[in-house]
Amino acid sequence: MALKNVKRSIDRIFDKNLQDLVRGIRNHKENEVNYISQCIDEIKVELKQENVAVKANAVNKLIYLQMLGYDISWAAFNIIEVMSSPKFTFKRIGYLAASQCFHSDTDVLMLTTNMIRKDLGSQNNFDAGIAINGLSCFMTTDLARDLANDILALMSSIRPYTRKRAVLISYKIFLCYPEALRPAFPRLKEKLEDPDSGVQSAAVNVICELARKNPKNYLSLAPIFFKLMTSSTNNWVLIKIIKLFGALTPLEPRLGKKLIEPLTNLIHNTSAMSLLYECINTVIQGMQSHGSSIQLCVQKLRILIEDSDQNLKYLGLLAMSRILKTHPKAVQSHKDLILQCLDDKDESIRLRALDLLFGMVSKKNLMEIIKKLMIHVEKTEGTQYRDELLSKIIEICSQNNYQYITNFEWYITVLVELTRMDGASRHGSLISSQLLDVAIRVKTIREFAANQMAAMLENAHAISGQLRRNGMQEVLFAAAYICGEFAELIEKPDSLIHAMLRPRVMTLPANIQCVYLQNIMKVFAIALIQAEEEEDNERALNLTRVLLEKLSLFLQSSYIEVQERASSTLSILKYIEKLQVKESLVAEEFSILFKGELNPVAPKAQRKVPVPEGLDLDAWINDPPSSSEDEQPEEEFPKKIYDELYSPTREKRKEMSPEEIKKRKEERLQEQASNPHYLMNKKQEKKTEAADGYQKLDAEVDPGLAGELNISVPLHVPGLPSSERYLRMEQDRQRRAQAEKTVKKRHKKRGKKKFVHVSEDEEEDIAPTHAVDIVQEEMPEGAAKTDSENETTKDDPYRALDMDLDSPLTPSETLPRPRHHEVRSKPDEEKVVKEKKQKKKHKKKEVKKHKKKSRKAPTESLLVEEPANEQVSEVTQNTPDTIEKKENKAEAKDDLSFWLSNSDAVSAPEAAKKVEGPEKVVQVNGIEEDEDDHEVAPAKEKKKHKKKKDKKETKKHKKKHHNVNDTVEMEASSNLQLSSYKLLGENKEIKLEFETRSSSREEKKIVVSCLFENLTENHIKNIEFNILDTLNTRLVRTGGENSHDAVPIPFSLPALSRNECQLQLTASSVTMPQRMRGTVTYMVQDQEHTKQEKLDFKLHLPCSAYLVTTPFSSVFLFSFSNHFTKLLTSGDVPDKASVKVDSKGIPLDHVLQKLCFFLKLSVVEQVGDSASLYSSSIQHHHICLLVKAAANGFISVDGKSNNASLLSNIMDQAKEIVQG
Amino acid sequence: MIKAILVFNNHGKARLCKFYQHYTEEQQQHIVRETFHLVSRRDDDVCSFLEGGTLIGGSDYKLIYRHYATLYFVFCVDSSESELGILDLIQVFVETLDRSFENVCELDLIFHVDKVHNILSEIVMGGMVLETNMNEIVTRFMEQDKLEKSEAGLSAAPAKAAAAIKNIDLPSLPKDLKLPDLSKLPSFR
């Protein structure tokens, strides 16, 4: 046996190895492909061998072939075999092959999970290394989910070599499986301070990548990074951190202030150019308000740009363009340098310089800069750079609604000149659309433009060759259109008509020919009017006849659209001719055909038209075509198109059922068979269809017929005038145009007329030649006014990673976020849950269990798929009999989350205790998940609460939120209706109510939970909520929105429905009540239209909004009264206040209940007629109250606190409450 | 993030392709060709940064490259990487190759592309920079080499011997050298 093995291995010595393969390929230069296919055959044989060494060798060769472009995915299974070999040598080959050719869609990857897990846990750190390395190249969602724990474990491996890799690959895990981010984040954070610099660098790397997409979630890491920045000496780490700060500083201005000093120090001192450059970048991005630092940056950048090293020059320009956005002045003073860079031999640098110029233009220097650029266009050879230049010129001129153009005649001339530039360009249509835009929107320029275009058209036949070569034919489209539309401004319409009828026109693309035809008629209408005014019937008739004669050519066009237009035009002309012969006046009537002002439409107008209610754009208008239609004989097909296009009954046809169609078809076929004329008919038909087919690039044209079609071609080649003459004419014209331009320039300087277009630019001293009226583009009615197009792609992997990482334990998060698995465990599993709660630090284990469970209950995982829908669907599904049950659940949940929210280390065991209760619902995935859940739970429950409005519920509600002490709870069975929802604002359409929530974890944040109720029968959507920030209190707005933007509410309200949204506010001080003004805007949509409405409101935040129910008992479980007394007697609560109020006969218990409910107090101790109550603010002020029932129905309240202002405000509130 | 690392020679022949995002083999070849086309028409004294590869990347991506004798080393990176940092990284990569192969030349890369991959995997992982310390990289690579050799042990001796014969004087190997007789030795069967 052993001998056999040896023999086999010896046999295999002479298998080709990788080197042999490479050598072989090099030796078969002539028939490389043959040789390789032969090698692949050999490899296939080798892969069938049992010996892993042979397989590994084969796979190794495949890796090489893959690099040469050969698909090796067929060997995927063999690659996995090699990966699973216990020997490192082979394993490495296997993983390398996998990393080269596997990807997320490779189906065999699902076989690898356990193997990879084994390798990750291998004793040999290189095994783990190559496994992680391979995994990094072919991570899938499944692998990420299944291996997240293993990777997490490796992140605390003792070997830096493995740890480093585990940290780095965690990014890929997060990308594929965002749910892993929150559980893994604490550990990742830990690694920022790892003793090994490689691990540290990896952690920085990962967090930088994460933060690049969602910077705001990582603001809280700023202190750690700041420490790293000042302590680290590794330039790689420094660069990454500085880049990260670049993303963070725009979100937190105070950070910029803190950073400015170390960064300027670095800028001054560092010798590493890469570091210097990144520092500059960060200062530019985040510290724009520090003028002196920006100045320093600009100086440094100038040095970089002047450097002989092209790399530095390039980067200098790149950074300069970033400064330009915020400090254009600082850059403009370096115009000389930048213009100089346009002459650089390096294209990258020229492109950068161009970019800069874009931002540097002003009214003053626009013409000068464009002139320089035009010279560059002429000089350059590379088409790509020329194209770039061309589009840049247009971009520069047209930016900001032509802000910098003072003389549109000049601009038209520039555009016309651009069309003449030698060398191909793909920007013909761009120029064309510019011409159209300018001519349509700038009324005063129309005459000039129309005549320029007329001149262009008249010369078109001479330059058309040139134009075609340059890809500029599209310009003729604009020219023809402008001439037609503004024909009354043209000096010599007759000659223009003649020019536009030249047979050469028929070589133009079809769409341009169509425009020609249409616009010839417009010009003709004007010419007729002129002729009739001059009573020159001769001229009119002549013109008509010329048109009749020339247009008939177009009848033979191979483009069906052209043909059709020509034929209808001709029949109109014939009619006109008839009238003209009778000497009747036709011009006026005829010109009515082309009347009507044309308004520009905004490019986004169509998209902004709101979709009317009840219109489903995805629904079929007619029934989807049945497959039977596809089965029609091939030759029938063109006829069908023809029928559909021209049959007057085609509307009807559309409604026919497939059966009918089939029947009809059969009938028709029979008819055709018996019709002696059919053959002829068919031929004619085919001819038209061939034309049609040509346009549609349909390959159905009969070759014989295609020959017939070519008849039209020789017809449009009459004797052309010598091109040379036109060339000279052209040059003449150009000179004239040039002269005209300079005249205009001079003229411009003397310009006296007022500039209508408003601009704050202080360079307004240049008055434009014409009164420029840039017509605003039209927008549809009811278009959404926001400019945000909501174009963010839904499948953006980074969006899923946008989650709050700082406040894992807050009871309320304001926005719906991706959540973790939420699994409802069975009662027998609660024990496990309890254990987990206690071991909440061991997340690894936890997640594992959680996963096990999620597999057990696959249906639950749907929750994860559609977290947004959950809320709605559950609410709507509530039938009365389930409400009660759900309420219990919600209550349990709420209690739990409440406890968790208060749980520092102390309350964790209590949380566990709570779970032991009879509750059916528990969160399994650890602490972090609970508060995610919470955000839904209260909302759900609130809604129900509102629906039923019965007393019992209200009571429960109260309990839920305010965790009243047991004694009180008992008495709470007496009926008391308490709701903490207060009216925020109301009009006849919408009603807003709110309540506030706070958490001791968030020192500066409170949550306003706002209930929106639709009072109409219509749909309300696009709700936006905004509050006028005060110095103290601000609305938390997501992402880059600035402080005035409204927060969009993530739902719409169907008729008579309600929904709740939580909004976060930050408060820097909690000792004073706040009054804020705000607005809710929304759109109401009824059958016909949508209207925008708004509701102003005042948000009153009493001091109690900042209080957190803090049961004293939860902190001092056993001897609370002692501690309470201690607190009172110690100097910690020096401020005192007291009031005495008439309680109007309300029993003390009710008073206490109300106080507890509204002021978020909790009873510490109740003895006889007095009770002590306690609460603390989110900023940890103590509030201690002693409530006593005094004689004659009076109630006295004494308060102690460590903040006088807070206390007095609370006392005021207490007074109001007691008084009812 | 690094999106791709390409090494090709002055004629555009790929010597190493590492893509950190999935492309089909056909696309990969297109990208190599396009990148070569973009890079090769640039003089040696212009800057090392290029925008405008249409196949790979987009506006956020840049090609950063260095040209050593007969080889181009091109990294396609996005804006989260420091441009000058990546230039340094290319230098680190090449110097590591130089140390691992002892005076690296194009032929080393041609015949030992697997080794080059292994070295690269010590530097960049899944598109993120893993290690920049050259000593660490070389040490780890050597350790793995040693591990490989110890695994091969005795059984690999004949294979090694054969490889040694085949690889005699590899760098100066004439192109037409063929070894027909060796592979047909009958005595071993």
Tell me if A274 and B83 make a contact (CB, 8 A cut-off): yes
Tell me if A346 and B46 make a contact (CB, 8 A cut-off): yes
Tell me if B159 and A63 make a contact (CB, 8 A cut-off): no
d(C-alpha A1184, C-alpha A1173), whole Å: 6
Contact status, residue A1031 vs residue A1089, Cβ threshold 8 Å: no
Contact status, residue A1139 vs residue A1215, Cβ threshold 8 Å: yes
DSSP string, A1142-1210: E-TT--HHHHHHHHHHHH--EEEEEETTEEEEEEEETT--EEEEEEEE-STTEEEEEEEES-HHHHHHH
Nearest by CB to residue B46, choosing from A130, A310, A384, is A310
Q: What pLDDT is recorded for position A804?
A: 66
More confident residue, A689 or A994: A994
Residues 6+ apart with CB under 8 A from B63: B35, B38, B39, B49, B50, B51, B53, B56, B57, B74, B75, B76
Q: Which pLDDT tens digit goes with each residue over B69-118? A: 889 999 999 888 888 899 989 999 999 998 888 888 888 888 889 999 99
Question: Residue B29: pLDDT band by 50, 70, 90 thresholds?
Answer: very high
Tell me if B51 and A351 make a contact (CB, 8 A cut-off): yes
Q: What pLDDT is recorded for position A836?
A: 45
Question: Residue B167: pLDDT band by 50, 70, 90 thresholds?
Answer: low
Q: What pLDDT is recorded for position B125?
A: 92
d(C-alpha A976, C-alpha A150), whole Å: 54
Residue at A692: amino acid letter: D
Residue of B nearest to A89 (CA): B148
Nearest by CB to residue B20, choosing from A71, A93, A137, is A137
Contact status, residue A157 vs residue A166, Cβ threshold 8 Å: yes
Question: Residue A939: pLDDT band by 50, 70, 90 thresholds?
Answer: very low
- The yes-or-no verdict on residue A867 having pLDDT over 80 is no
Nearest by CB to residue A126, choosing from B147, B158, B173, is B147
Here the tokens at position A762 are 């202080």
Q: Which pLDDT tens digit goes with each residue over A101-145? A: 888 888 888 888 889 998 988 888 889 999 999 999 999 888 898
Mutate to test the interface with B, among A95, A136, A284 (most CBs of B within 10 A): A136
Q: What pLDDT is recorded for position A1190?
A: 78
Tell me if B158 and A18 make a contact (CB, 8 A cut-off): no
User: Residue A522 burial (CB < 10 Å; 0-12/13-18/19+)?
Assistant: buried
Task: Write out the H or E segment, with its range, that includes residue A1084.
Answer: strand A1074-1085
Mutate to test the interface with A, among B117, B140, B182 (most CBs of A within 10 A): B117
Q: What pLDDT is recorded for position A672?
A: 59
Distance from CA of A125 to the nearest CA of B (A): 10
Tell me if B113 and A64 make a contact (CB, 8 A cut-off): yes
Mutate to test the interface with A, among B19, B30, B47, B154 (most CBs of A within 10 A): B47
**Residue A26 DSSP symbol:** H
- Provide the pairing of β-strand A990-998 with A982-986: antiparallel
Chain B segment 33-62 residues within 8 A of A by beta carbon are 42-43, 45-52
Residue of A nearest to B139 (CA): A161
Q: What pLDDT is recorded for position A465?
A: 63
Nearest by CB to residue B110, choosing from A22, A89, A133, is A22
Within 10 A of A77 (CB to CB), how many other CB atoms are there?
Answer: 10
Contact status, residue A621 vs residue A655, Cβ threshold 8 Å: no
Contact status, residue A55 vs residue A73, Cβ threshold 8 Å: no
In B102-153, which ranges are continuous DSSP H helix? 106-111, 113-123, 134-152
d(C-alpha A43, C-alpha A54), whole Å: 9
Question: Residue A680: pLDDT band by 50, 70, 90 thresholds?
Answer: very low
Residue of A nearest to B159 (CA): A13
Q: What pLDDT is recorded for position A1103?
A: 83
d(C-alpha A981, C-alpha A955), whole Å: 14
DSSP string, A954-989: HHHHHHHHH---HHHHHHTTS-------EEEEE-SS
Question: Residue A98: pLDDT band by 50, 70, 90 thresholds?
Answer: very high
Q: What pLDDT is recorded for position A1133?
A: 78
Within 10 A of A58 (CB to CB), how many other CB atoms are there?
Answer: 29
Q: What pLDDT is recorded for position A479?
A: 87
Kindly list the residues from chain B whose CB atom is less than 8 angstroms away from the CB atom of residue A92.
118, 144, 148
Residues 6+ apart with CB under 8 A from A252: A219, A222
Q: What pLDDT is recorded for position B117?
A: 93
Residues 6+ apart with CB under 8 A from A871: A816, A936, A939, A940
Tell me if A346 and B118 make a contact (CB, 8 A cut-off): no
Q: Which pLDDT tens digit goes with each residue over B45-79? A: 888 888 766 667 677 888 999 998 889 999 999 88
Pick from A1103, A1076, A1068: nearest CA to A1206: A1103
User: Residue A572 burial (CB < 10 Å; 0-12/13-18/19+)?
Assistant: middle
Q: What is the ipTM of this complex?
A: 0.87
Q: Tell the residue number behind the tokens 């026919």, with chain if given.
A: A656
Tell me if A67 and B88 make a contact (CB, 8 A cut-off): no
Pick from A1097, A1083, A1081, A1004: nearest CA to A1046: A1081
Kindly list the residues from chain A whose CB atom is less than 8 angstroms away from the CB atom of residue B84.
273-274, 277, 311, 315
DSSP string, A520-577: HHHHHHHHHHHHHHTT-HHHHHHHHHHHHHHHHHHTT-SSHHHHHHHHHHHHHHHHHH
Q: What pLDDT is recorded for position A1160?
A: 80
- The yes-or-no verdict on residue A900 having pLDDT over 60 is no
Tell me if A64 and B87 make a contact (CB, 8 A cut-off): no
d(C-alpha A1158, C-alpha A962), whole Å: 9
- For A1018, phi then psi, to 5°, come to -105, 170
Secondary structure of residue A774 in the 3-state scheme: strand
Tell me if A346 and B42 make a contact (CB, 8 A cut-off): yes
Q: What pLDDT is recorded for position B138?
A: 92
**Interface membership of B29 toward A (CB under 8 Å):** yes
Provide the phi-psi class of A1163: left if phi over 0, else alpha when psi is between -120 and 50, else beta: beta
- The yes-or-no verdict on residue A516 having pLDDT over 80 is yes
Kindly list the residues from chain B whose CB atom is less than 8 angstroms away from the CB atom of residue A168.
125-126, 128, 130
Q: Which pLDDT tens digit goes with each residue over A1136-1170? A: 888 888 877 778 888 888 888 888 888 877 777 88
More confident residue, A805 or A20: A20
Using CA of residue A1135, residue A1136, residue A1137, residue A1143, what is the dihedral sign? positive
d(C-alpha A480, C-alpha A489), whole Å: 14
d(C-alpha A831, C-alpha A834), whole Å: 5
Query: In the predicted model, what is the mean pLDDT of residues A668-693?
Result: 48
Chain B segment 103-132 residues within 8 A of A by beta carbon are 110-114, 117-118, 121, 125-132
Q: What pLDDT is recorded for position A656?
A: 53
Pick from A135, A90, A92: nearest CA to A112: A135
Tell me if B167 and A19 make a contact (CB, 8 A cut-off): yes
**Interface membership of B148 toward A (CB under 8 Å):** yes
Q: What pLDDT is recorded for position B155?
A: 59
The pLDDT > 70 percentage for chain A reads 66
User: Residue A729 burial (CB < 10 Å; 0-12/13-18/19+)?
Assistant: middle
Distances in Å between the alpha carbon of A738 and those of A413, A741, A742? 9, 5, 6
d(C-alpha A39, C-alpha A24), whole Å: 9
Q: What pLDDT is recorded for position A216?
A: 84
- For A567, phi then psi, to 5°, come to -70, -40
Question: Residue A830: pLDDT band by 50, 70, 90 thresholds?
Answer: very low
Question: Residue A914: pLDDT band by 50, 70, 90 thresholds?
Answer: very low
Distance from CA of B167 to the nearest CA of A (A): 8
**Mean pLDDT for chain A?**
72
Q: C-alpha angle with apex A206: A201 to A210, nearest 5 degrees?
A: 145
Contact status, residue B130 vs residue A168, Cβ threshold 8 Å: yes
Here the tokens at position A909 are 């065991």
Q: Which pLDDT tens digit goes with each residue over A984-1029? A: 888 888 888 888 877 766 777 888 888 888 888 888 888 888 888 8
Residue of A nearest to B152 (CA): A89
Distances in Å between the alpha carbon of A448 and those of A190, A402, A411, A599, A740? 70, 18, 11, 19, 12
Secondary structure of residue A873 in the 3-state scheme: helix
**Mean pLDDT for chain B?**
80
Q: What pLDDT is recorded for position A699?
A: 37
Within 10 A of A1071 (CB to CB), how many other CB atoms are there?
Answer: 20
Q: Which pLDDT tens digit goes with each residue over A941-950? A: 444 444 444 4
CB pairs under 8 A between A and B: 180
Query: In the predicted model, what is the mean pLDDT of residues A172-184?
Result: 89
d(C-alpha A1070, C-alpha A1104), whole Å: 9
Provide the phi-psi class of A1143: left if phi over 0, else alpha when psi is between -120 and 50, else beta: alpha
Query: In the predicted model, what is the mean pLDDT of residues A1113-1141?
Result: 68
Nearest by CB to residue B126, choosing from A12, A172, A347, is A172
Distance from CA of B176 to the nearest CA of A (A): 6
Distance from CA of A324 to the nearest CA of B (A): 19
Question: Residue A796: pLDDT band by 50, 70, 90 thresholds?
Answer: low
Q: What pLDDT is recorded for position A221?
A: 86
Q: What pLDDT is recorded for position A92?
A: 92
Kindly list the residues from chain A whose CB atom is less than 8 angstroms away from the CB atom of residue B26.
69
Q: What pLDDT is recorded for position A499?
A: 83
The pLDDT > 90 percentage for chain A reads 5
Distance from CA of A789 to the nearest CA of B (A): 20
More confident residue, A714 or A584: A584
- The yes-or-no verdict on residue A601 having pLDDT over 80 is no
Q: How many CA atoms lie within 13 A of A1051 on its CB side?
A: 21
Q: Which pLDDT tens digit goes with each residue over A225-276? A: 888 888 888 888 889 899 888 888 888 888 888 888 888 888 888 888 888 8
Nearest by CB to residue B131, choosing from A18, A198, A346, is A198
Q: What pLDDT is recorded for position A94?
A: 93
Question: Residue A816: pLDDT band by 50, 70, 90 thresholds?
Answer: very low
Task: Write out the H or E segment, with its range, that includes residue A668.
Answer: helix A658-674
- The yes-or-no verdict on residue A80 having pLDDT over 70 is yes
Query: In the predicted model, what is the mean pLDDT of residues A658-678?
Result: 62
Q: Helix A474-485 to helix A493-500 angle, to the nearest 10 degrees? A: 150
Kindly list the residues from chain B whose CB atom is less than 8 angstroms away from the CB atom of residue A311.
47-49, 83-84, 87
Residue at A997: amino acid letter: R
Q: Which pLDDT tens digit goes with each residue over A845-866? A: 444 444 444 444 443 333 333 3
User: 0.80 exceeded by the pTM?
Assistant: no
Q: Tell the residue number behind the tokens 């510290």, with chain if given.
A: A287
